[in-house]
Amino acid sequence: MTSDEIAPGEAAGLAQRVNFYREAAPDPVLPASRPVILQLDGHNIAELASRLGPRGLPDELFRAALRRACSDLLLHLSPRPSVAYVRSARVTLVFPPPSLETSPEEPGESSIPVFSNGVASVQGASRVAGYCSARFNAHLASELSSGAVSLEHKEDNLLGIVFFSSRTFAVPSVEEALHYLVWQCRSDDEAVQNSINHDGAKIVPSWALDSCVMKRELDQGGVGRRMHTRTVEGGFREFSADTLKLVAEPYWDEGHSPQPHDRGGGGAPTFPKPMSDNNTSVLAANQTIFGPNVYMFNPRMPASEIQGKATEIFKQMEANEFGPERYALLFAPGTYNVLFDVGFYTQVAGLGRNPDDVFIDGGVNVPAYWMPNRNATCNFWRSFENFSVSASAATNNTTTIAVSQAAPLRRLHIRSANGLWLFQVDPSTGAGGWASGGFMADSVVDGQVLPGSQQQWLSRNNRYGSWANAVWNMVFVGDANAPSQVNFPASPYTTVEQTPIIREKPYLYVTGEGHYEIFVPALQTETRGPSWANGPTPGESIPIRDFYVAHPSTTDAAGINTALDNGQHILFTPGIYKLDDALYVSQPSTVILGLGMPSLVPVGGRPALCVADVDGVTIAGLIIDASEVKSPALVEVGPPGSSVDHSANPTFLYDLTVRTVGGTANDVGITINSHNVVGDQLWLWRADHGQGAAWDSNPTRNGVVVNGDNVTIYGLFNEHHKEYQTLWNGDGGRVYFYQSEIPYDPPNQDSWKDKHGAVNGFASYKVADTVTSHEAWGLGIYSYFRDSPTKLENAIEVPDVEGVKLHHLTTIWLNGVPGSEITHIANGAGGRVYGNKPESAMRQTLTEFPTSNGA
């Protein structure tokens, strides 16, 4: 077999391909029609160090000699390599095929032939190794004789100790050459991490930790063509059009070539540059690796500037319900005297290890000014995470977060004297504006939580001074001091004492040295109260260098899949990503995290995300949008037939919106085939409003289909799909809080019937007849048949078996055409809802199902 017989897409992974190129098919003659990689490895470095005295080999001495030798290689080989990557005592050169060589050599410029008669040979590689050895020792001698390096003593026999060996291999394309460099950079990083002990002390010299990219550059101006080399610290961390230019093009064009990621000098790699708190102007807040729509504020910036920028963004985003803009406002540890509001597609988060590391003394609020009567039922798509806040007198010492779906509150400490309000009062009437459902987890509220007119809510692993009231469906799971449920349904509380299994959502933070890391909390069972209330949340950190940082202007599906194939995690910065292929997550424990509500749009009829049947994947903080090309599912967790037990390390889905707006289509929002998956705040939404939203113009069948066993979901919001909103086929399922509006827009009853036209409508919550065990707490199903007098026979359908149990079921008639109704709550039990008066016509409940009397 030759390397022509293996294509990048045909191997199981990049490591397999690299091993194939390097080991499986050694060939003394390599056609120059393909890219050739030539690798040089230095030997006897330790011997050189021992002869230089007790202090060993000075970092700057070795670094200078090797880099100057590498510069000679770039300037004097024939043909010239396009790029060199230098790490430790290894130099990797890439020779692109002649078709990409656009710099004709000038007389006398090149002297060391690598190729002969169109082929690269072992003899040519040996010549390069000998030339590198000679040039390294020459530069070492120059450094020693110049006195640039101070040594206790020098020996005359230092020169010639270090020599270089070589190996060459061909790869199918220049793209694969870049893939190899990306893989090598990651492998180098892993080697560095393995060389550092648990206390973080170095046991390797600094020069062995450094890396750089070197490339030829043309002098600008002057007479004739003059070349030199330019060195940029860092390596190749991503595959992109820009990094490909580094490998394919002959010169470094400063106008469009990228800067390799800086790893700093000395110590462990520090990719990327650490966050600095020396920036004193907010103008520098969005000049980080995370792009222009991520603002990194620090306490040295004037509070007025921070508040001004946050207010400017709110004014842009307040009513921007379906706009393309996305933002993240991130606060480094410290105190901020600011007061601002938060609009659509905006994430506000602290960058501390714990919520109290960031204190916003003034306020962060979500108002509902933009809709009449302070109506917050469309206040979607924003998030709050990992900071503490105290409201000022300007807002009556009250934190107001008037939201509905897809606006999670996580890891907050609300210190406001008058507590937290989950709605906003309409000053014209004195009544509370409507609000329609939300989610808070892992948080502390020192005072009272006042839901007011908030219709439903899930509170998980929180602690608060008190909880004031409820409207229709309030569910508490693992809260430290939840209200009692004994008076249900008069007091519509559902209380579960402990959270059976949870791993809190990962989050970005800044270390004391200013480095970005993602903290991944540990898996816990049977928990009660916040994870950080009695000490730091247990878990582990992943350095940002292990993440592929995606940007909407430069990232495509191929680049992300290459990164996933290489074992990298993915961090999406704010924006909209149109994907011409699915993103394939095949490595266990991969983290995919969104900053600033990024949207993934599969434009080729595939899912946006396909997860293999592997352990411990995390997908968090994303909007998944259908496109004009219909997808069978927008997210697929595990392929059909998945069978692995993942109970020891489940996959987690956090803060996902899966939506189908006007003019787009998909069959299913999320299909879960793997076992032991855990969902934490999911909204599956077929749009009921907005441009083009109508019965035939944004069709979906189901919001979620669960085929795996032992799947658990906290906070399942699932609305307006044309058949079952939720279809549960796996055993051992558990749902804690369910909120569902069935479709508004069936044009007539005949267009919306189940069981071959025999039953009115499709149940919102359908557990398949084959299921033997399933349990759910706090289910609310709501109707608004806007366009016709449609009826739904049963809001819930489940098999009549002992292992299926439902607790606290509610149906609501919100509004609708006269004659519309939900006839029963579950399996023919429970009264119908059909109007606003009397109260029983609007709301019906069952405390338990199956009931003891069948009614």
31 prior amide bond cis, ω within 30: no
Amino acid at position 645, single letter: D
CB under 8 Å to 799, separation ≥6 — which residues?
767, 768, 769, 770, 771, 772
Residue ranges in 389-448 assigned as alpha helix (H):
none
Is 802 tagged catalytic? no
Report the alpha-carbon distance of residue 813 to residue 839 in Å, rounded.
10
Output the furthest CA–CA distance in the chain (Å, rounded). 103
60-86 as b/e, with b when 16 or more CB fall inside 10 Å? ebbbbbbbbbbbbbbeebebbbbbbbb
What angle is formed at CA 725 by the lines to CA 719 and CA 731, rounded to 5 degrees? 135
Pairing between strand 444-450 and 409-414? parallel
Report the alpha-carbon distance of residue 668 to residue 631 in Å, rounded.
8
Residue ranges in 318-415 assigned as alpha helix (H):
none
The helix/strand count (H/E) of the chain reads as 9, 56
Bridge partners, residue 571, by sequence: 549, 593
Q: Are 786 and 745 in contact (CB under 8 A)?
A: yes
What angle is formed at CA 342 by the lines to CA 338 and CA 344, rounded to 5 degrees? 160
Q: Are 237 and 90 in contact (CB under 8 A)?
A: no
Which position has the token pair 């056609």?
Answer: 31
Q: In a 3-state reduction of DSSP, which class is residue 699?
A: coil
CB under 8 Å to 541, separation ≥6 — which residues?
509, 511, 517, 518, 519, 520
Residue ranges in 556-596 assigned as alpha helix (H):
557-565
Radius of gyration of the chain (CA): 31
Q: In a 3-state reduction of DSSP, which class is residue 842?
A: helix
Phi-psi region of 160 (alpha: psi -120 to 50; beta: other; left: phi over 0): left
Report the alpha-carbon distance of residue 179 to residue 183 in Å, rounded.
6
CB under 8 Å to 302, separation ≥6 — which residues?
280, 281, 282
Report the alpha-carbon distance of residue 743 to residue 703 in Å, rounded.
12
Pairing between strand 227-233 and 211-218? antiparallel
850 prior amide bond cis, ω within 30: yes
Q: In a 3-state reduction of DSSP, which class is residue 349?
A: strand
Q: E strand or H helix at 346, and its extent?
A: strand 346-350
Q: What is residue 374's DSSP assignment? A: G
Bridge partners, residue 335, by sequence: 359
58 prior amide bond cis, ω within 30: no
Amino acid at position 243, single letter: T
For residue 208, CA distances in Å to 59, 197, 511 come to 9, 15, 24
DSSP assignment of 606-627 equals S-SEEE-S-S--EEEEEEEE--
Q: What is residue 761's DSSP assignment? A: B
633-658 as b/e, with b when 16 or more CB fall inside 10 Å? bbbbbbeeebeeebeeebbbbbbbbb
Which of 477, 451, 460 shows the shortest CA–CA distance to 408?
460
Which position has the token pair 């110590």?
Answer: 267
Q: Are 164 and 149 in contact (CB under 8 A)?
A: no
Residue from 385, 741, 793, 797 carrying the catalytic annotation? 741
Which residue numbers are catalytic?
A: 741
